[in-house]
């Protein structure tokens, strides 16, 4: 029996709640708890003939147009703008040059490691690199706060993650256009495509953010503010992607930041309680995303793609270290530089999570190598959760001092 769309939504929400219970009762990290619930449910209910109807080929719109806008807007809303201004230079270097270095180094190691140009061409390696360039240090930030780490370090983690998510998604879209041959045919057109998508998304987000801010101030009620902002998150992404054909992620991020900046003076009145709205929305959708990952993980991945997973894990770690090291050197002219200890934390704490999962789940199954890429990304995310996430606390204790 295949369940309806309503049944699928209820099933995902129920499994996310079950993940919250497992997190509470067994003290298991939340993302890992949700992933485990999804994995067990995916194999358990299949054994009794119950079909959720969730497949890799029907997840793209759910992930891209429903889950991603919320996660990006929520992350942007909670950034401390005053500290972000101080660290904007290092953040932008990490989120631009760092993403490119991460992508190409990862792609190079993966391509050479797999060594099968016919079955796994260079563009497949580039897709893998672009997906793994996006970091998601949610668990690390929670650990930083629990250890009373410097706010500057937390801001650096949050800001870099938010901006590099946007850069990685745009880079992913460009590489995917190569893979599907839907982009331009000349290098100059690729550069023009990147500029149009990236800066077009930023500009559209700023304009939408200004309009949304005006609407919020005219209505002047906290409940209405929450509604308008949630609508803005989804609307800015949809308008950018479907109407303007620019980056939806950049649109969501820039709209969130401009609204946050303009509403900071009236946060206690017009925007009262809005942060709580984004807290539960972010919690729900990130939990659902890891449940989905658990549902689509198969034992076959580990049996048939275990070597590719190991190659991807090693490549991702080395590439992250190289990218952070180079960017660290380039921040020396700035007032705020990245100390060596913080570079180590950024390298080991650069977990891959929600955004990487969202991107790999949106891969067209028509690509011959989509399952290999998905297996590798899942392997890296699992390593992030099981190894990096669980050992980071001790590293933070030793290295997070000023």
Alpha-carbon distance of 309 to 371, in angstroms, equals 12
Alpha-carbon distance of 151 to 336, in angstroms, equals 13
pLDDT of residue 185: 45
pLDDT of residue 1: 46
Q: Assess contact for 263 and 214: CB atoms under 8 A.
A: no
Q: Assess contact for 291 and 16: CB atoms under 8 A.
A: yes
| pLDDT > 60? residue 76 | yes
Cα dihedral sign, 66-67-70-72: negative
- 74-88, 244-258, 311-325: least confidently modelled range: 74-88
Alpha-carbon distance of 200 to 336, in angstroms, equals 30
Which tokens hold the place of 86?
Answer: 């101080």
pLDDT of residue 152: 84
Q: Assess contact for 252 and 72: CB atoms under 8 A.
A: yes
CA count, 13 A, side-chain hemisphere, 28: 17
Alpha-carbon distance of 176 to 173, in angstroms, equals 5
SS (H, E, C) the chain: CECCHHHHHHHHHHHHHHHHHHHHHHCCCHHHHHHHHHHHHHHHHHHCCCECCCCHHHCHHHHHHHHHHHHHHHHHHCCCHHHHHHCHHHHHHHHHHHHHHHHHHHHHHHHHHHCCCCCCCHHHHHHHHHHHCCCCCHHHHHHHHHCCCCHHHHHHHHHHHHHHHHHHHHHHHHHHHHHCCCCCCCHHHHHHHHHHHHHHHHHHHHHHHHHHHHHHHHHCCHHHHHHHHHHHHHHHHHHHHHHCCCCHHHHHHHHHHHHHHHHHHHCCCCCCCHHHHHHHHHHHHHHHHHHHHHHHCCHHHHHHCHHHHHHHHHHHHHHHHHHHHHHHHHCCCCCCCCCHHHHHHHHHCCCCCHHHHHHHHCCCCCCCCHHHHHHHHHHHHHHHHHHHHHHHHHHHHHHCCC
**Tens of pLDDT along 295-330?**
888 888 888 889 999 999 999 999 999 999 999 999
**Tens of pLDDT along 343-356?**
998 999 888 887 88
For the chain, the structural domain boundaries read 1-54, 55-399
CATH of 55-399, one of 3.30.1330.40, 1.10.4160.10, 2.60.40.10, 1.20.1530.20: 1.20.1530.20
pLDDT of residue 315: 96
pLDDT of residue 309: 95
Go through the chain and tell me how many residues it has.
Answer: 402
Global pTM reads 0.83
**Tens of pLDDT along 155-197?**
888 888 888 888 888 888 888 888 887 554 445 566 777 778 8
Q: How far apart are the first and last CA of the chain?
A: 58
**Tens of pLDDT along 199-237?**
899 999 999 999 999 999 999 888 899 999 999 999 999
pLDDT of residue 225: 92
């Amino acid at each position: 029996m295949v369940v309806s769309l309503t049944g699928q939504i209820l099933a995902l929400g129920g499994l996310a709640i079950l993940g919250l219970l497992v997190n509470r009762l067994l003290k298991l990290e939340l993302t890992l708890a949700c992933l485990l619930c999804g994995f067990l449910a995916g194999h358990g209910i299949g054994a009794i003939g119950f079909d959720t109807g969730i497949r890799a080929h029907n997840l793209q719109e759910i992930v891209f147009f429903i889950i991603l806008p919320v996660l990006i807007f929520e992350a942007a809303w909670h950034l401390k703008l005053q500290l972000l201004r101080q660290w904007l230079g290092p953040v932008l270097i990490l989120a631009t040059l760092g993403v490119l270095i991460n992508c190409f180094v990862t792609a190079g190691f993966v391509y050479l490691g797999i060594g099968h140009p016919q079955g796994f061409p260079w563009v497949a390696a580039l897709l893998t690199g672009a997906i793994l360039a996006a970091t998601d240090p949610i668990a690390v930030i929670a650990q930083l706060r629990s250890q009373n780490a410097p706010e500057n370090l937390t801001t650096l983690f949050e800001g870099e993650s938010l901006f590099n998510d946007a850069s990685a998604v745009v880079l992913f879209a460009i590489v995917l256009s190569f893979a599907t041959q839907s982009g331009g045919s000349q290098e100059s057109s690729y550069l023009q495509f990147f500029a149009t998508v990236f800066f077009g998304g930023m500009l559209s987000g700023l304009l939408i953010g200004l309009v949304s801010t005006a609407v919020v101030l005219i209505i002047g009620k906290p409940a209405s503010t929450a509604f308008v902002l949630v609508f803005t998150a989804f609307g800015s992404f949809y308008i950018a992607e479907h109407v303007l054909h620019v980056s939806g992620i950049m649109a969501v991020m820039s709209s969130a930041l401009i609204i946050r900046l303009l509403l900071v003076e009236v946060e206690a009145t017009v925007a009262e309680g809005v942060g709580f709205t984004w807290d539960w929305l972010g919690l729900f959708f990130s939990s659902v995303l890891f449940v989905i990952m658990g549902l689509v993980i198969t034992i076959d991945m580990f049996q048939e793609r275990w070597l590719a997973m190991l190659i991807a894990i090693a490549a991702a770690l080395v590439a992250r270290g190289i990218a952070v090291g180079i960017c660290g050197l380039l921040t020396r002219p700035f007032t705020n530089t990245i100390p060596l200890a913080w570079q180590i934390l950024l390298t080991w704490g650069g977990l891959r999570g929600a955004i990487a999962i969202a991107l790999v789940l949106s891969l067209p199954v028509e690509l011959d190598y989509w399952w290999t890429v998905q297996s590798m990304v899942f392997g890296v995310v699992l390593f992030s959760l099981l190894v990096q996430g669980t050992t980071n606390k001790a590293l933070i204790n030793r290295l997070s001092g000023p």
